[in-house]
Amino acid sequence: MPKLPKVLASGDVARELGVSYQYIDKLAKDGKLKYQQTSSGRIFLFEDVKAFKKERAKKAKKDPRIRIK
């Protein structure tokens, strides 16, 4: 049986990144964080969130405005 990808809801992504739900909404609307729209809301693949978090950590080293929790 193939392994299914782990998916997260917006609130889970917000907790994972240490940001607000509203910021996740903005990232999704701006196309900065990939998502899939479902009938019950947005879902995010864990791998996409992990990649975004890694890229954000790189940027945080150069930009003091970006805070990582």
Radius of gyration of the chain (CA): 13
Q: Which residues form the domain of 39?
A: 7-62
pLDDT recorded at residue 62:
85
Residue 24 located in a structural domain: yes
In a domain, 69, yes or no: no
Mean pLDDT score, 64-69: 75
In a domain, 67, yes or no: no
CA-based angle 13:11:69, to the nearest 5?
A: 55
Q: What is the pLDDT of residue 36?
A: 94
pLDDT tens digits for range 4-63: 789 999 999 999 999 999 999 999 999 999 999 999 899 999 999 999 999 988 888 888
CATH of the domain at 21: 1.10.1660.10
